[in-house]
């Protein structure tokens, strides 16, 4: 990454878009301090990362990964990973937020259902991973959206959660869905390790050719009829 200057406001939804290899995941890795920059600086609350411990930084952030959202064990195990002391009431609240409470109530073993079985779909796993992140009520939610075609309910649940969280905290998404991009307060367009443009959807559509291309590609994916 070179010449990247980016401020994430305390409230609101920032979406990162860009072609594969643009540096989106690397940006998250830097923010999560999985990587240390060789130059430049990251700041949290206006203080450089080197003045914070890794624990301090990670306790403020929650990360929903793109590809490995769940670990072996039950639904309860997966949620408690984020906060071992959480009560069933707190689990219920986040499961409600991701629209899974009713589904889990309907399972014979409820929260004790193993995630390895066929009882839980791909979209539901994604929502369990999101619920796990929400259980910590992070200041900053980092969400790398799944690229796989997920069900409409999952898409709607993710959208509602992102909106609700953005009202009280910061949400940064690596957006792979048109609905997520359009919903963001600010969109950051990355290309070859740099921030190429940023702004609102209408503004970027009018001013940035790469953004137009990316949106067109997402439109085709979102609606196979349009292809």
Ligand X SMILES: Nc1ncnc2c1ncn2[C@@H]1O[C@H](COP(=O)(O)OP(=O)(O)O)[C@@H](O)[C@H]1O
Residues lying near Mg ion in the complex (CB under 5 A) are found at 24-25
> Is 145 labeled as catalytic in the residue annotation?
yes
CA–CA separation, 125 vs 75, rounded Å?
9
Structure tokens at 188: 């950051």
Does residue 18 belong to the site contacting ligand X (CB under 6 A)?
Answer: yes
d(CA 198, CA 208): 9
Q: Tell me if 24 contacts ligand X by CB under 6 A.
A: yes
CB of 167 to ligand X, least distance (A): 27
Considering 97, 124, 145, 191, which one is annotated as catalytic?
A: 145
Residues touching ligand X, count (CB under 6 A): 8
| Minimum distance, C-beta of residue 4 to Mg ion, in the bound complex (Å) | 15
Quick check: 224 and 214 in contact, CB under 8 A? Answer: no
Separation between Cα atoms, residue 117 and residue 2, nearest integer Å: 44
CB 136 within 8 A of CB 80: no
- Nearest approach in angstroms of CB 28 to Mg ion is 8
Q: How far apart are CA 89 and CA 93, in angstroms?
A: 6
Query: In 65-167, which ranges are E strands?
Result: 140-144
Q: Considering the complex, state which of residue 25 and residue 74 has its C-beta at the smaller distance from Mg ion.
A: 25
Residue 142, burial from CB neighbour count under 10 angstroms (0-12, 13-18, 19+): buried
Closest to Mg ion by CB, 24 or 165: 24
What gap in Å lies between CA 153 and CA 71, rounded to an integer?
22
Q: How far is the CB of 151 from Mg ion (least distance, A)?
A: 23
Do residues 136 and 97 make contact, with C-beta atoms less than 8 angstroms apart?
Answer: no
Q: Is 64 in the site for ligand X (CB under 6 A)?
A: no
Which of 22, 195 has the CB closer to ligand X?
22
CB distance 68 to 25 below 8 Å: no
Nearer to ligand X, 124 or 144 (CB): 144
Cβ distance to ligand X smaller for residue 39 or 84: 39
| 21 touches ligand X by CB under 6 A | yes
Does residue 25 bind ligand X (CB under 6 A)?
Answer: yes
Helix, strand, coil percentages for the chain (3-state, nearest 5): 45, 15, 40
The verdict on 6 binding ligand X (CB under 6 A) reads no
The least CB distance from residue 24 to Mg ion, in Å, is: 5
Pick from 3, 5, 7, 20 the residue near ligand X by CB under 6 A.
20
Is residue 188 involved in binding ligand X (CB under 6 A)? no
Q: Residue numbers of the site for ligand X (CB under 6 A)?
A: 18, 20-26
Catalytic residues: 145
């Amino acid at each position: 990454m070179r010449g990247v200057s980016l401020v994430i406001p305390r409230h609101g939804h920032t979406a990162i878009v860009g072609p594969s290899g643009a540096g989106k995941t690397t940006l998250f890795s830097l923010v999560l301090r999985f990587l240390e920059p060789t130059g430049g600086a990251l700041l949290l609350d206006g203080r450089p990362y080197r003045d914070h411990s890794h624990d301090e930084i990670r306790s403020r952030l929650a990360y929903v990964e793109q590809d490995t959202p769940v670990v072996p064990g039950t639904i309860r195990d997966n949620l408690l990973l984020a906060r071992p002391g959480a009560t069933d009431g707190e689990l219920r609240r986040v499961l409600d937020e991701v629209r899974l409470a009713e589904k889990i109530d309907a399972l014979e073993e409820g929260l004790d259902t193993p995630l390895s079985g066929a009882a839980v779909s791909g979209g539901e796993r994604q929502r369990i991973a999101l619920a796990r992140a929400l259980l910590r009520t992070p200041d900053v939610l980092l969400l790398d959206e799944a690229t796989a075609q997920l069900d409409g309910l999952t898409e709607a649940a993710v959208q509602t959660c992102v909106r609700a969280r953005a009202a009280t905290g910061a949400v940064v998404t690596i957006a792979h869905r048109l609905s997520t991009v359009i919903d963001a307060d600010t969109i950051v367009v990355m290309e070859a390790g740099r921030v190429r443009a940023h702004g609102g959807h209408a503004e970027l559509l009018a001013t940035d050719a790469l953004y137009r291309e990316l949106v067109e590609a997402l439109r085709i994916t979102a609606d196979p009829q349009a292809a």
